[in-house]
Amino acid sequence: MVAATQMGRREGDLVTGEASRITIETPIEFSDRLPEEVDAVIIGGGVIGVFSALYLARLGKRVLICEKGRIAGEQSSRNWGWIRQHGRDRAELPVMMQSLRLWREADSETNGQCGVFTVGTHYLASTGPEMAEHESWLSIARDHGLDTRVLSSNEISDMFSGQADYPWVGGTCTPNDARGEPWVAVPAVARLARAAGALIREDCAVRALDMAAGRIQGVVTENGRVACEQVVLAGGAWSSLFARRHGIDIPQLSVRATVAQTAQLPEFFAGNAVDEQLALRRRADGGYSLALGDRNGVYLGPDALRHFRTYIPLLRKSWRGIDLGARAPAGFPDAWGTPRDWAEDRESPFEGTRVLEPAPDRAEVSSMIDRFVKRFPGIGQPEILNCWAGMIDAMPDAVPIVDRVPAIAGLVVATGMSGHGFGIGPGFGRIVARMVAGEDAEHDLERFRFARFSDGSPLELGSTL
């Protein structure tokens, strides 16, 4: 088993007793004044927006984050908490390798508040074909110098401290991968950004871009106008709705994912693991985060139907794990009643729903418990303290858009992280900051270009885990 370590710090040194899930009831922490002018406005206070602001401020730029609800209130605090290189798309991997280093830096700078521990990521297989699929990624790992290796069934048993009883045939592992604590990590980095000079304002929705001759002049928020020449759209599940108001089409859908938090359990495993059905991560509070590895929900709405053809290749690959739900709930980005256009002097959809709070799927939580007991009979049935759901901003090829929008001078889009955004957030935040500042991005961004869905390029599917 990979030891849970980070720069000599022990897990018990991280104080998490008061950590709680971020909702609209979470008190506002960031209420900086609205400036008349900045160099860049970031729409969205999730992991991408917060790291973009941190690195922009450190480049000497005046930057403002406008968050309609709470910092990290949506998917950035509702994810699995994995910081993984393992299984990444080939083009994402260099960004992720840098992100892992940046997460460790951020954890050090926040005195461990991000909860980053080196624990390894483990993909387990119950069948020969699943094992072959995991092994097919080893060549990518070797090309990038990762210490990824194959696990035998006996090694998996040892990894779980002898508590597992399940017929895994083997697996793969990247020992250098890490885990973090989403509830506390992104707000901690936001405090770093503010200390570096960034302004952050919660409960401040951006209603529209202020443009002249196709060029950004500023943004119109619910609290007034802010002049700027550059805007970063990092709105997660809301990005496509905002973009569409300005004539920009992003084929992004929102996918519901449920996660459960157990009560404290013996530490039989310190890291991240997933097989065909169950995912788990050790938490700093002594419990485990559980999720299903084979189920996600998609609400039906106008955008889901409009983009259906674009998603056919992805659906063919993973249709067994997708639940096509009922109509999108009222107030959600793709709800039938959500306006696609609105006046700048009237309440926008972003003010109507400050924080997306999809209902967790209770049947999925029951499946998590049953699958946990089946795999770890020595531990027994876990007590579930909390469960929640988040809306993942998904793209048809499971990799994000991180690019300038040709039709609007000054607009950078960073969205569609497809459930992988927490781990890779620092790397893409640094890329966005350098892009806005006019510096070299340090990475090949061809895979993440805005035009790939309209320039006739064949769709290349990335990893869906």
> Which residues, including other chains, have CB under 8 Å from residue 319's CB and lie 6 or more apart?
none
Mean pLDDT of the chain: 93
Which is more confidently placed, 316 or 378? 378
Q: Which of 7-21, 78-92, 183-197, 222-236 has the least mean pLDDT? A: 7-21
Return the pLDDT at 305.
Answer: 84
User: Which stretch of DSSP H or E encloses residue 22?
Assistant: none
Name the DSSP class of 100.
Answer: H
Return the pLDDT at 15.
Answer: 39
Q: Which domains does the chain have, with CATH numbers?
A: 27-453 (3.50.50.60)
Give the distance from CA 278 to its chain's centroid. Answer: 19
pLDDT band at 300 (very low <50, low <70, confident <90, very high): confident
Tell me how long the chain is.
465
**Is the pLDDT score of 451 beyond 90?**
yes
Type of residue numbered 431 = I
Return the pLDDT at 327.
Answer: 80
In this prediction, what percent of the chain has a pLDDT beyond 70? Answer: 94
pLDDT band at 10 (very low <50, low <70, confident <90, very high): very low
Would you state the structure tokens that stand for residue 289, as one six-digit string? Answer: 């985060």
pTM value is 0.94
Would you state the structure tokens that stand for residue 373, as one six-digit string? Answer: 């007991």
CA proximity to 130, closest of 274, 328, 307, 334: 274
Query: pLDDT (tens digit, 9 = 90+) per residue, 68-89?
Result: 999 999 999 999 999 999 999 9
pLDDT band at 295 (very low <50, low <70, confident <90, very high): confident
Q: Which residue has the tokens 């806005």?
A: 436
Return the pLDDT at 167.
Answer: 96
